[in-house]
Amino acid sequence: MRLEHHSADIVASAHAETALPVARLQGELGRTTGQLRFFAFILREGSFAGVQFDSPLPERLPAPRPDLRQRRIGVGPVAVFGASNFPLAFSVAGGDTASALAAGCPVVCKAHSGHPETSRLVAIAIGEALQAQGFPAGIFSLVTGSVGADLVAHPAIRAVGFTGSRHGGTALLAIAQSRRVPIPMYAEMSSINPVLLFPGALKSRGASIAADFVASLTLGVGQFCTNPGLVLLPRGTDGDAFRDAAVAALSQLPAGTMLTDGICEAYGAGVAAWENAPGVRALGRGAGAAGIRQGLPALFEVSMADFLAQPMLQQEVFGPAGLLVRCEGSAGFRQVLQALEGQLTVALHMDATDHADAHELLPLLERLAGRILVNGFGTGVEVAHAMVHGGPWPATSDSRTTSVGALALERFLRPVCYQNFPAELLPEALRDGNPWNLPRRRDGRAAQ
């Protein structure tokens, strides 16, 4: 694969532009190539085409049923916006590009301003791969500069994939919806990924959960869309012990270099807003001071009443800052969860004694987030068939989709029905006896 052939130059460029560690970038490049191979497997397997057959029923009364065959085709050219925090896996050759190409859609990718040279190198590798396979060069294009609005508004574009801020996503969504021909925009934008700490788990292993929480909170200087920014923590001595352990762990961690000046400035402003919010108490900061373009870890605490009274505390602070909300048991969890906006993830830390309380909250959690996980944190997103990386607004602009996993491909497909087609005019996938797909045939006799 051409990305692997150019891996040394790509990783070196990404490190220089983003300050992300080389080992992290090498792993991210592997994830990028893994995504491409994953979608290649899906194409070979064939079920993505959604082939369906309804056999004709000429004898049916009062009217015969025609021969109906369905498949899904690509929607057309897709605009993809590279993400700041994943210069490889969610950028030029990332999941949106891979899934759009797998759906048969040309891609026009908007390079992120935080890593322009890395984007250029990846685009060269894609171009080389397309040329080697004999594909037209226009299947993939890279654009740079302040052209995002124009790209979404361009009449040739038929869908948009976006990973970025809520402000940027909503602005582009308005353009996509106000076009003469509106188009779908699949935007991943904002999530604070609540963590629920149930009493049994707190009592038996609160200190270890606290250490794992801080590690997840500060991973990659907190610049993950699945960063656990909000913790629902019961009042009482066990909750106090968790808080103290988390503060102790966080106080050992130094500031880290953030992706861009703008992200660092926004992080500082978000932390300052928490510091000045009524009822919010600063618990601790990381070790030392923050240097140029650096974010210092921070942890805050607030009562459930003060949290519910200030919707601004729900706003994502993109970086290594967390907010503990002290709740009155499971009933308090419910009150906070009912007030939250849509999320990418919710994490539940529980023991067997907590299962009944968790079961009571599950219907609410299912409506709140795209992924619910137990005894872990959401900062790892597996590329797999069952993965959902999406959620209700504002986590994403369309909660029916995912930007990671096999279903990501379906964002860029639409169904077409072929009625009473001559065999020689049918697409190959819809012809009788084609082994490439195993269509679901329905003779419809039970529905006569």
State whether residue 30 is helix, strand or coil.
helix
Q: Which residues, including other chains, have CB under 8 Å from residue 284's CB and lie 6 or more apart? A: 247, 250, 251, 298, 299
Is it the case that residue 191 has pLDDT exceeding 60? yes
With cut-offs at 50, 70 and 90, classify the pLDDT of residue 440: low
More confident residue, 1 or 431: 431
Phi, psi for residue 303 in degrees, rounded to 5 = -75, 160
The chain-wide mean pLDDT, for the chain, equals 95
Q: Residue 47: its pLDDT value, please?
A: 87
Amino acid at 322: G
Specify the DSSP class assigned to residue 116. H
Task: Report CA-CA distances (Å) from 316 to 117, 130, 194, 225, 311.
Answer: 29, 39, 11, 9, 11
Per-residue buried b or exposed e for 376-401, using 16+ beta carbons within 10 Å of the residue's own CB: ebbbebebeeebbbbbbebbbbebeb
With cut-offs at 50, 70 and 90, classify the pLDDT of residue 164: very high
Residues 338-355: tens digit of each pLDDT: 999 999 999 999 999 999
Average pLDDT over residues 378-399: 96
- From the candidates 17, 105, 109, 225, which is the catalytic residue? 225
Average pLDDT over residues 351-360: 97
Q: Residue 319: its pLDDT value, please?
A: 98
Q: Residue 265: its pLDDT value, please?
A: 97
Phi, psi for residue 291 in degrees, rounded to 5 = -90, -160
State whether residue 245 is helix, strand or coil.
helix
Residue for token digits 């060269």?
A: 124
What count of other Cβ atoms lies within 10 Å of the Cβ of residue 1? 13
With cut-offs at 50, 70 and 90, classify the pLDDT of residue 436: low
Q: Residue 46: its pLDDT value, please?
A: 87
Considering the chain, what percentage of its residues have pLDDT values greater than 90?
94
Average pLDDT over residues 177-191: 97
CA angle 305, 217, 357 (to 5 degrees): 50
Q: Which residues, including other chains, have CB under 8 Å from residue 366's CB and lie 6 or more apart? A: 372
Rounded CA gap, 146 and 346, in Å? 35
Q: Residue 330: its pLDDT value, please?
A: 87
Cis ω before 199 (30° cut-off from 0)? no
Helix (H) or strand (E) holding 159: strand 159-163
Task: Report CA-CA distances (Å) from 41 to 29, 63, 89, 304, 406.
Answer: 19, 42, 18, 47, 10
Give the global pTM. 0.93
- From the candidates 28, 188, 301, 316, which is the catalytic residue? 188
Specify the DSSP class assigned to residue 436. T
Average pLDDT over residues 157-163: 98
Residue for token digits 């009443």?
A: 305
**237-250 and 199-218 helices, crossing angle to 10°:** 20
Residues 235-291: tens digit of each pLDDT: 999 999 999 999 999 999 999 999 999 999 999 999 999 999 999 999 999 999 999
Residues 287-318: tens digit of each pLDDT: 999 999 999 999 999 999 999 999 999 999 99
Residues 86-122: tens digit of each pLDDT: 999 999 999 999 999 999 999 999 999 999 999 999 9
Q: DSSP of 169-206, one letter per residue?
A: HHHHHHHHHHSSS---EEEE-----EEEE-HHHHHHHH
With cut-offs at 50, 70 and 90, classify the pLDDT of residue 402: very high
Is it the case that residue 444 has pLDDT exceeding 60? no
Q: Does residue 225 have an active-site annotation?
A: yes
Is it the case that residue 445 has pLDDT exceeding 60? no
Is it the case that residue 439 has pLDDT exceeding 70? no
Average pLDDT over residues 186-210: 97
Average pLDDT over residues 23-36: 97
